[in-house]
């Protein structure tokens, strides 16, 4: 196998002392940046890009990729311990990670996240190594109708997420879709829903702003109200034995979600329009759909942590693929990496694997090493993160509030976003009191900005004929599956009613 | 319609001496806090690449005593950036890296109340020409083939771009008018997405800056048909220009660094000195060559005059295409 010998050379490059040190530093820095609410891999890579000019390009990108990897691991940490997604890619991790932590199983959630991330990253690396050129061709065959069909599928997997109250789930999705349209419209170039003519809305409503509001502020208010401040996060002392037991349990109860996330996350990540956030959300939805015990999801099942965590790592490797082979970034972070490569004098694109094969394979080799390093470093820090949870809630609550505000400000440096975080937090609290599910709204604000323009582009292509979603060879089957999945709960409901009437 | 640059090139040489005293003044003023380096577009695009390149050169050579903090404020075709500069609380520490939405967005969104001519010129880093590209599998090799094909498809020929009123749509609108073409135009949210969908043949042609199509061109996937530059480009010597085809039209993307309105003369002089050195440095000159940017050095007065002509030209172009 030609690819394997290239890979062996690449791993040797990654193991050179300078590169190895950079990997270790990068992964650790990334872990903490990812764990900070609001700050994700984008910020980490952007902040540290200039200092990479001190080392050769090959080492520089290895360093940045290690940060990217570390941040994907780190995102899970605040999702689990505080209930605030550390990065947009880790939102789905809160759905089950937070309940686990409240049950005193934070270490199980964190160990599951670490192992799932490792498997996801490794599966993606293997797929990348073996099939890079083929996958690049696949990514190109996804035009606007195919991307829209995929987004439809993502929505379909989430119809069941809100529980049994379908009208409230639909309301929540619509709320998210409306918020997603705020700001400038790509297709017409006109501003939409600039509420009260406040200039800040021209930029649109950032996903991270909504997530911090809903999960940071909203969750904190909810917890205070529910428990009157008497939060008992009973934490057994972290022991080595305990961690070994958690590891076994994580593997036993999380392997299914891990595999779903690893495979699905990678393919969604490879598509330039999608990226790691939709990938992790979709994996969560699919894992729940195929699970034998879907009612456990949202209450704290390791599968629900494993699926999104495996997916976000696998997707982050996946999104490197279109960047390297096509010169098209698959995520905001790879967009900055791409900028870095241009600055280092490399031209990403179809020629890169041929002209700069040492660089490319060194990078791929470093993915494998970074992944191992990230797993070990992450596991080593878990006791520290769990220890944080043993703080009294009277200290933890203000800390979460401060982190939410600081993190929200750091991402965009705008006061406007801070007010939005507070407003969303209050709104989320009241919606939750009235039993509205919030996850569908969060999903809608992630997928809406991808689904809406691709639908309109497709209809422009077909001069307004909606059959374009059914007649194209890739889009057609995806659309049909999505529609069946959307109709399924309705059909089940009708049947139940009919049988009730018959009885 | 002539968005000329040769005139200014000439003037630039003539006034080079006059700028020297200003450079000397620069020593008197130093930044007191980190410098806000706003980028008028999202991460990954041309403006972003340039901003990060410039930042890295400044950083590597320790050219400022306070760091440049790049922040992408691409929302609303750059409206976010324009408002951020217009309302800057500390104009002496607020800079922006521009593209042509610097001209088009305030015209298209009059409600913003942004007058770009009030902004402070710092350094013109270069201008980026536009080129018409098709996929190699289309079999089209000349501009004449292209015209014939578009006419034959009668309204079904699909081109992608970055949106109505954006740079490429202005070029396409001019071309359609000049040759009486009917084109189906699909807007995307960035030049990278446009290039990807041309490579996947989801769309049939694009008008794009060379930097965004270069990888596919070198791999033989994209075929350049026509350049919208004043003269043939060094990187594409066989590609004719619109001017050769008898239409007096050229169009460039402005890659400039500008300061907030109300920036003090001392601060502006300091930044002109810093970025002037970046501009003259070997790193930037190599970048200009490898990304096919054209140099267009100008001093403050020339830049102001250039902005006035560009604003007038864009107003005319946009009203013609109804954008």
| Boundaries of every domain in chain A | 2-502
Size of interface A-B (CB pairs under 8 A): 152
Intra-chain end-to-end CA distance of chain B, in Å:
18
What's the whole-model pTM score? 0.79
Regarding whether B260 and B149 lie in a shared domain, the answer is no
Read off the DSSP letter of residue B294: B
Q: Assess if residue B114 is contained within a domain.
A: yes
- Residue B81 at interface with chain A, using a CB cutoff of 8 Å: no
Q: For residue B19, what pLDDT band results from cuts at 50, 70 and 90?
A: very low
pLDDT digits (tens, 9 = 90+) for A348-405: 777 787 788 888 888 888 889 999 999 999 888 888 888 777 777 777 778 878 888 8
Q: If DSSP codes are grouped into helix, strand and coil, which group holds residue B205?
A: strand
3-state class (DSSP) for residue A109: helix
Measured from the Cβ of residue B28, the count of other Cβ atoms closer than 10 Å reads: 9
B57 & B171 share domain? no
Domain total of chain B? 2
E strand or H helix at B299: none
Q: Is residue B112 in a domain?
A: yes
Question: How far is Cα B125 from Cα A130, in angstroms, rounded to an integer?
Answer: 42
| Selection from A83-97, A460-474, B131-145 with the highest mean pLDDT | B131-145
In the structure encoding, which two tokens stand for residue A257, read together? 């979600």
Does A415 touch chain B if contact means CB atoms closer than 8 Å? no
Q: Minimum mean pLDDT among A72-86, A306-320, B138-152, B273-287: which range?
A: A72-86
CA distance A132 to A367: 14
Q: Taking Cα atoms as reference points, which of B260, B295, B249 lies closest to residue B88?
A: B260
For residue B140, pLDDT beyond 90: yes
C-alpha R_g of chain B: 20
- Are B85 and B167 found together in one domain? no
Cα–Cα distance between A496 and B129 in angstroms, integer? 64
Spatial strand order in the sheet of B94-97: B68-72, B35-39, B94-97, B252-259, B120-129
Residues of B in contact with A188 (CB under 8 A): 164, 187
- The domain boundary, picked from B193, B227, B261, lies at B227
Contact B308, B121 (CB under 8 A): no
Residue B241 lies in a domain: no
pLDDT at B26: 45
pLDDT surpasses 90 at A323 = no
Answer yes or no: is B244 within a domain.
no
Does B19 lie in the same domain as B119? Answer: yes
**pLDDT for the residue A330:** 66
Q: How far is CA A205 from the centre of its chain?
A: 18
Q: Which residues of chain A are within 8 Å of residue B166 when distances are taken between CB atoms?
A: 189
- What's chain A's Rg over C-alpha atoms? 22
Residue B89's domain comprises: 6-128+251-321
Q: For the segment A167-217, what is each residue's pLDDT rounded down to a tens digit? A: 888 888 889 899 988 887 777 767 788 777 777 777 778 777 888 888 888
Min Cα separation B53/chain A (Å): 6
Residue B23: inside a domain, yes or no? yes
* B144 and B53 inside one domain: no
Among candidates B52, B55, B218 on the partner chain, residue whose Cβ is nearest the Cβ of A351: B218
Query: DSSP per residue over A438-460, as a string?
Result: SHHHHHHHHHHHHHHHHHHHHHH
> Which residues of chain A make contact with B42, given a CB cutoff of 8 A?
332, 335
Q: How confident is the model at residue A129 (pLDDT cuts 50, 70, 90)?
A: confident
Chain A, window 282-321: residues with a beta carbon less than 8 angstroms from a chain B beta carbon: none
Task: State the pLDDT at residue A231.
Answer: 60
Give the range with max mean pLDDT: A98-107, A335-344, B146-155.
B146-155
| 252-281 of A, contacting B, C-beta below 8 A | 272-273
Q: Are residues B24 and B61 in the same domain?
A: yes
pLDDT band at B15 (very low <50, low <70, confident <90, very high): very low
Do B10 and B62 have their domain in common?
A: yes
Q: Report whether A287 contacts A261 (CB < 8 A).
A: yes
Show which of B227, B260, B279 is a domain's final residue. Answer: B227
CA B272 to chain centre: 19
Answer yes or no: do B56 and B145 share one domain.
Answer: no
Say if residue B199 is in the same domain as residue B279.
no
Which of B187, B190, B289, B323 should be substituted to probe chain A, the one whose Cβ sees the most A Cβ atoms within 10 Å? B187
ipTM, interface predicted TM-score of the complex: 0.76
Half-sphere exposure in the Cβ direction for A208 (13 Å, CA): 27
With respect to residue B233, please indicate whether it lies within any of the assigned structural domains: no
How high is the pLDDT of residue B296? Answer: 87
Judgement on whether residues B155 and B223 belong to the same structural domain of the protein: yes
Is B103 among the domain residues? yes
Q: What is the pLDDT of residue B50?
A: 86
Q: Which of B209, B254, B216 is nearest to B233 (CA)?
A: B209
- Helix B282-290 / helix B265-280 crossing angle, nearest 10 deg: 70
Least Cα separation, residue B14 to chain A (angstroms): 33
Q: Are A287 and A256 in contact (CB under 8 A)?
A: yes
Question: Domain of B192: which CATH number?
Answer: 3.40.190.10
The C-alpha atoms of residue A267 and residue A310 are separated, in whole angstroms, by 12
For the record, the structure tokens of A428 come out as 């989320």
Final residue of a structural domain among B211, B227, B243: B227
- Is residue B318 within 8 A of residue B104, CB to CB? The reply is yes
Q: Chain B, 123-182: which have a CB under 8 Å from a chain A CB?
A: 158, 163-166
If DSSP codes are grouped into helix, strand and coil, which group holds residue B131?
strand
Q: What is the pLDDT of residue B76?
A: 72
Shared domain check, B46 and B94: yes
Structure tokens at B30: 């130093």
User: Does position B132 have pLDDT exceeding 60, yes or no?
Assistant: yes
Q: End-to-end alpha-carbon separation of chain A, Å? A: 64
Same domain, B157 and B25: no
């Amino acid at each position: 196998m030609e690819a394997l010998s290239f890979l062996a050379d690449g791993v040797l490059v990654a193991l050179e002392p300078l590169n190895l040190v950079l990997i270790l530093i990068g992964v650790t820095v990334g872990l903490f940046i990812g764990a900070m609410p609001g700050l994700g891999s984008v910020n980490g890579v952007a902040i540290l890009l200039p200092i990479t000019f001190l080392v050769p390009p090959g080492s520089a990108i290895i360093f940045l990729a290690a940060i990217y990897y570390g941040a994907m691991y780190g995102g899970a940490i605040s999702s689990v311990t505080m209930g605030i997604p550390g990065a947009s890619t880790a939102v789905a991790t809160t759905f089950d990670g937070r309940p686990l932590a409240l049950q005193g199983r934070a270490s199980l959630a964190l160990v599951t996240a670490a192992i799932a991330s490792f498997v996801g990253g490794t599966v993606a690396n293997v797929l990348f190594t073996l099939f890079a050129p083929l996958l690049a061709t696949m990514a190109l065959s996804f035009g606007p109708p195919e991307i829209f069909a995929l987004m439809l599928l993502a929505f379909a997997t989430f119809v069941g997420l809100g529980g049994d109250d379908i009208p409230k789930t639909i309301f929540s999705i619509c709320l998210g879709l409306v918020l997603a349209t705020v700001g400038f419209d790509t297709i017409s170039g006109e501003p939409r829903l600039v509420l009260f003519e406040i200039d800040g809305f021209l930029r649109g409503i950032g996903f991270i702003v909504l997530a911090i509001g809903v999960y940071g502020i909203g969750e904190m208010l909810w917890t205070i109200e529910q428990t009157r401040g008497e939060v008992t996060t009973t934490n057994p002392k972290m022991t080595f034995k305990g961690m070994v037991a958690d590891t076994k349990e994580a593997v036993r109860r999380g392997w299914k979600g891990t595999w779903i996330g690893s495979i699905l996350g990678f393919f969604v990540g490879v598509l330039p329009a999608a990226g790691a956030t939709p990938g992790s959300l979709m994996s969560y939805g699919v894992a729940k759909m195929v699970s034998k015990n879907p009612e456990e999801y949202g209450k704290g099942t390791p599968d629900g942590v494993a699926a999104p965590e495996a997916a976000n790592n696998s997707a982050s490797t996946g999104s490197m693929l279109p960047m390297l082979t096509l010169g098209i970034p698959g995520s905001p972070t790879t967009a900055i990496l791409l900028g870095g490569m241009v600055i280092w004098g490399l031209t990403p694109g179809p020629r890169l694997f041929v002209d700069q094969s040492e660089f490319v394979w060194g990078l791929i080799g470093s993915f494998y090493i970074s992944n191992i390093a990230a797993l070990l470093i992450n596991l080593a820090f878990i006791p520290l993160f769990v220890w944080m949870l043993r703080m009294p809630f009277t200290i933890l609550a203000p800390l979460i509030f401060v982190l939410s505000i600081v993190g929200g400000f750091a991402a965009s440096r705008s006061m406007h976003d801070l007010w939005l975080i507070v407003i969303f937090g209050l709104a989320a609290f009241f919606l939750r009191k009235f039993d509205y599910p919030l996850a569908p709204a969060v999903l809608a604000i992630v997928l809406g900005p991808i689904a809406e323009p691709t639908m309109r582009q497709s209809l422009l292509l077909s001069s307004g004929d909606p059959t374009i979603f059914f007649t194209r060879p890739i889009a057609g089957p995806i659309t049909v599956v999505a529609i069946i999945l959307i109709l399924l709960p309705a059909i089940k409901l009708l049947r139940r009613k009919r049988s009730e009437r018959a009885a | 319609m002539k968005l000329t640059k040769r005139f200014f090139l000439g003037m630039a040489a003539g006034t080079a001496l006059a700028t020297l005293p200003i450079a000397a003044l620069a020593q008197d003023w130093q930044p007191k806090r980190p410098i806000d380096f706003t980028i008028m577009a999202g991460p990954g695009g041309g403006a972003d690449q340039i901003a990060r390149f410039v930042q890295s050169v400044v950083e590597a050579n320790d050219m400022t005593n306070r760091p440049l903090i790049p922040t992408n404020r691409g929302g609303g075709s750059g409206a976010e950036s324009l408002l951020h500069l217009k309302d800057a609380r500390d104009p002496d520490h607020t800079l922006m890296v521009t593209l042509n939405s610097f001209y088009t967005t305030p015209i298209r969104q009059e409600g913003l109340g942004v007058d770009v001519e009030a902004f402070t010129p710092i350094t013109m880093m270069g201008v980026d020409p536009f080129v018409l590209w098709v996929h190699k599998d289309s079999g089209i090799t000349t501009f004449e083939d292209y015209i014939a094909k578009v006419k034959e498809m009668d309204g079904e020929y699909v081109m992608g771009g970055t949106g109505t009123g954006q740079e490429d749509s202005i070029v396409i609108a001019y071309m359609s008018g000049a040759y009486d073409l009917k084109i189906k135009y699909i807007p995307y949210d960035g030049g990278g997405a446009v290039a990807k969908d041309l490579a996947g043949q989801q769309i049939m042609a694009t008008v794009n800056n060379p930097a965004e199509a270069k990888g596919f061109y070198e791999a033989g996937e994209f075929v350049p048909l026509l350049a919208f530059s004043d003269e043939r480009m060094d990187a594409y010597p066989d590609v004719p220009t619109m001017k050769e085809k008898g239409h007096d039209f050229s169009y460039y993307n402005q890659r400039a660094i500008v300061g907030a309105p109300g920036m003090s003369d001392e601060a502006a002089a300091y930044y002109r000195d810093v970025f002037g050195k970046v501009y003259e440095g070997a790193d930037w000159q190599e970048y200009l060559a490898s990304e096919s940017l054209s140099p267009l050095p100008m001093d403050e007065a020339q830049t102001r005059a250039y902005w006035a002509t560009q604003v007038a030209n864009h107003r005319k172009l946009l009203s013609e295409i109804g954008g």
